[in-house]
């Protein structure tokens, strides 16, 4: 017997009028006109009415320890990355585990309502107390029934630049943090940056962990730590297990050099994780005009088959004052800044906040197929391009076969000289 049947779904791959049959926490069939196993009064039916049914949105780059701290202890006046780091440093001594947990829980509720059911969060390990690490390990466990949280040990103040960083990172991994992070462009010298990439990749190889570094988040075209990251990935046999987050220096790099770099990234099977909302606001700050966009080369990487996953990075924290943790806002910004306006390119931006992000996080049993988890989002749009255009209501969010969030369809009621009309923005 089926517990739930979703009827008349449009799927991200273009299939229409599909039914999705769910038993317990799994999808058991994806076919047109499913009738077998349906028991009247026992099988719950949701009519998707031609709306898009997608696997959940996945955020592969976020900071749960700083989210929703906007204004504490003050606002970022210059709006720059470096003042953001300084401001975070001012806030850190006053942080409590309870406040971090409360804010992370609040954010996760926004995420679920937006259909985002997995988050990879960096957690700053530069605080010797490891308060945020312990708080977020608890949050990971408390939220596990509804949202998958993966934590990255992130030496925000530099792996070599801050003297206790190596010890703190090791302690964080011993406590159960999942992924090894880094910030090579923030080390004192290029050489220290390269050495930090090597040291951190070796730790990951030894412990059998994934790697995800903030890498080359700068407008300096000579910041080439991604090159070292590709080389160390291959040397240590970490192919398919490593991500470079941001990679904004690539925007400003010499084209000839990039023509060598991208095949190296593909060979190492490195995932690129741009954060378009943040990159477009933080990069190019030292430019007058023309002012660089600062986002990495999404178009070229996508065309080459490099896995591109998009992150939200921040919501209302020292680096970014906006956002409601909507991954469709991220895909929308990437589409515009990266000029990903060809049909297959815009579809690729939808994949970048769904399946590509699930791939870098190595989430098991993800997708709309028989045998996968019944984790689904029904949107008030009919295809991925319309979803990016409208960033519409998430009508239903399902986790393991259960509806965990609903939003009423959003419509406007017009009165034009006594004529009543309903507008829903679907063409």
Residues with catalytic annotation? 217
Maximum distance among all Cα pairs of the chain, rounded to whole angstroms: 72
Which residue's CB is nearer to Zn ion, number 101 or number 214?
Answer: 214
Site size toward Zn ion (CB under 5 A) is 1
C-alpha span between 391 and 376 (Å, rounded): 16
The interface region with Zn ion, picked from 72-80, 81-89, 174-182, 310-318 by CB under 5 A, is 310-318
Which residue's CB is nearer to Zn ion, number 160 or number 320?
Answer: 320
Least Å distance, CB 255 to Zn ion, is 27
Taking the CB of residue 92, how many other CB atoms lie within 10 A of it?
A: 18
Catalogue the long-range contacts made by 70-78 (C-beta closer than 8 Å, 24 or more residues apart): 70/316, 70/317, 70/318, 70/321, 75/321, 76/318, 76/319, 76/321, 78/285
Q: Which residues contact 157 (CB under 8 A, 6 or more apart)?
A: 89, 126, 165, 186
Cα R_g (the chain), whole angstroms? 22
Q: Find the distance separating the first CA and the last CA of the chain, reported in whole Å.
A: 38
Q: Which residues contact 209 (CB under 8 A, 6 or more apart)?
A: 173, 178, 179, 180, 203
Using an 8 Å Cβ cutoff, are 153 and 177 in contact?
yes
What is the residue whose two structure tokens read 């769904």? 354
Look at strands 402-406 and 271-273 and give their pairing. Answer: unpaired
Least Å distance, CB 275 to Zn ion, is 6
Least Å distance, CB 210 to Zn ion, is 16
The interface region with Zn ion, picked from 1-9, 168-176, 309-317, 346-354 by CB under 5 A, is 309-317
The interface region with Zn ion, picked from 48-56, 68-76, 285-293, 306-314 by CB under 5 A, is 306-314
Which residue's CB is nearer to Zn ion, number 30 or number 331?
Answer: 331
Least Å distance, CB 361 to Zn ion, is 15
The interface region with Zn ion, picked from 112-120, 235-243, 260-268, 307-315 by CB under 5 A, is 307-315
Least Å distance, CB 214 to Zn ion, is 5
Reading the block at residue 419, the tokens are: 């004529």
Which residue's CB is nearer to Zn ion, number 313 or number 326?
Answer: 313
Which residue's CB is nearer to Zn ion, number 60 or number 392?
Answer: 60
Binding site for Zn ion (CB under 5 A): 313
């Amino acid at each position: 017997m089926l517990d739930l049947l979703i009827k008349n779904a449009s799927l991200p791959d273009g299939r229409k009028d599909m039914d999705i049959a769910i038993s317990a926490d799994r999808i058991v069939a994806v076919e047109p006109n499913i009738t077998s196993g349906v028991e009247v009064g026992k099988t719950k039916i949701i009519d998707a009415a031609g709306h898009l049914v997608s696997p959940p949105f996945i955020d592969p780059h976020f900071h749960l320890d700083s989210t929703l701290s906007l204004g504490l202890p003050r606002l970022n006046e210059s709006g720059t990355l470096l003042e953001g780091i300084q401001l975070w440093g001012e806030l850190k001594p006053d942080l409590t585990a309870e406040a971090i947990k409360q804010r992370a829980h609040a954010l996760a509720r926004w995420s679920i309502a937006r259909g985002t059911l997995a988050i990879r969060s960096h957690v700053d390990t530069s605080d010797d107390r490891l308060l945020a690490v312990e708080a977020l390990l608890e949050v990971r466990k408390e939220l596990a029934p509804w949202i998958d949280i993966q934590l990255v040990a992130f030496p925000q103040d530099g792996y070599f630049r801050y003297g206790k960083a190596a010890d703190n990172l090791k302690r964080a991994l011993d406590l159960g943090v999942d992924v090894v992070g880094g910030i090579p462009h923030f080390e004192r010298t290029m050489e220290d940056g390269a050495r930090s990439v090597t040291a951190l990749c070796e730790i990951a190889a030894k412990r059998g962990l994934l790697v995800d570094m903030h890498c080359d988040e700068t407008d300096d075209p000579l910041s080439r730590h991604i090159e070292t990251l590709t080389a160390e990935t291959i040397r240590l046999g970490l192919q398919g297990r490593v991500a470079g987050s941001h990679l904004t220096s690539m925007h400003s790099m010499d084209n000839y050099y990039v023509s060598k770099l991208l095949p190296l990234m593909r060979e190492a099977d490195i995932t690129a994780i741009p954060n378009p909302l943040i990159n477009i606001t933080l990069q190019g700050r030292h430019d007058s005009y023309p002012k660089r966009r600062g986002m990495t080369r999404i178009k070229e990487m996508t065309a080459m088959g490099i896995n591109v996953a998009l992150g939200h990075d921040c919501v209302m924290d020292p680096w970014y004052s906006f956002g409601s943790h909507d991954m469709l806002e991220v895909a929308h910004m990437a589409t515009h800044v990266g000029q990903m306006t060809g049909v297959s390119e815009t579809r690729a931006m939808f994949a970048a906040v769904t399946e590509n992000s699930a791939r870098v996080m190595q989430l098991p049993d993800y997708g709309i197929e028989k045998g996968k988890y019944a984790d689904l989002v029904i949107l008030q749009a009919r295809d991925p391009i319309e979803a990016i255009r409208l960033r519409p209501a998430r009508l239903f969010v399902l986790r393991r076969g259960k509806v965990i969030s609903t939003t009423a369809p959003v419509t406007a009621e017009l009165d034009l000289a006594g004529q009543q009309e309903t507008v829903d923005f679907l063409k």
